[in-house]
A = this chain, B = another copy of it.
């Protein structure tokens, strides 16, 4: 029997217990032994809960129990979660987590501690919820030089953008509706400003390079400036709009990383990623494009990924799971130097001026918007694009990158 402890009995924590219980027999068959939840750490009590007797309030009960070989850290945050994770790893207990903030911030250190103590720090659930993404990356695409990662990494914003796409609705209306349905938090900033996607693309970039990308340095733009009119012009030009985290190996092997809304061709598999689903396109130099799709959040999908890590930890034992990164910081290519096509929404009266400012660009007109026009630039350096936009002043009402 394997004894595990669950830190945090919130949504994901109760999901972890539910998955372990619900699929107990088949998990035992795969692992070769029973996995037993011995402790649940929470500040609260849960009278009446079938696992109320497992609840403890002192983490040391768990840390000091030699029977516990795997800990699930699903409490979130970078304070106590960091301390508890570190202590558990130092005692040779593998830690499986859904805590993307902690993985993005202290992953390198925690991976090194795990290795030094012959256990594992596993984080399949930290990116893409229930989508197998970390393990395919480190166990399957091992013959590949990864050239780029392009991901729809946040379900809340994807839900909002899909509703705007399909209903022509305004962002603020859809956001309010999403909050009512529980798809968006009361304080939606981490989602709509792109911070959540930023942490996830940073973790994937760490894996891609084997080094540390500081999420704070990743240029991050959210969805709040997107208007219903942007969708009208995008559709006219054969595109939709998605919030993307992108990490790309550029010329000279420099790495560009950013989070921003993009026009995405309707023919792209990313355009078919709708509602709360996530999708991540990973391109290798031999295999070309591969994509991974599924529920990027939610109690059971996220818990399933945590439990798959528990199983991996048990099967792997004292060996190190492949993958990971060190603390050497990667310098991200300045966004001004990255190249992209851009979409502009402009005053129709100024379209001549815009055409002159971006030779080789194309106007996009729609009967639905009489006084504005869309515009697609050719491929430009972001710095050059920004300078020209600034010079155009009030002619420009909106701008967005275009996925090539």
Contacts and interface: CB of A to CB of B under 8 A. Distances in A.
A404 B267 CA distance: 23
Interface string A323-359: 0000000000000000000000000000000000000
A36 interface: no
A307 interface: yes
A292 interface: yes
A68 to B, nearest CB: 19
Interface in A283-320: 284-295, 300-301, 303-305, 307-308, 310-312, 315
Contact of A141 (B132, B139, B274): B132
A26 interface: yes
A136 B140 contact: yes
A161 interface: no
Given A142-B311, A143-B308, A272-B269, A292 B290 contact: yes
Interface string A240-254: 000000000000000
Interface in A15-33: 18-20, 22-23, 26-27, 30
Instruction: Tell me the interface secondary structure of chain A in the complex.
Output: helix
A322 B294 CA distance: 23
A290 B131 contact: yes
B287 A301 contact: yes
Number of copies: 2
A141 B303 CA distance: 12
A132 to B, nearest CB: 3
A132 B143 contact: no
Nearest to A283: B294
B294 A287 contact: yes
Nearest to A31: B142
A142 B30 contact: yes
B269 A142 contact: no
A277 B311 CA distance: 32
Contacts of A30: 142, 322
Nearest to A303: B286
Nearest to A293: B291
A130 interface: yes
A363 interface: no
16 contacts: A19-B143, A23-B145, A27-B142, A130-B287, A130-B288, A131-B290, A132-B136, A132-B140, A135-B136, A135-B139, A139-B312, A140-B305, A142-B308, A143-B307, A287-B301, A292-B292
Given A143-B307, A284-B304, A290-B293, 14 more contacts: A23-B143, A27-B143, A130-B290, A132-B290, A135-B136, A139-B312, A141-B304, A142-B311, A269-B277, A269-B293, A287-B300, A287-B301, A288-B294, A291-B292
Interface of A: 18-20, 22-23, 26-27, 30, 124, 130-132, 135-136, 139-145, 267, 269, 271-274, 277, 284-295, 300-301, 303-305, 307-308, 310-312, 315, 322
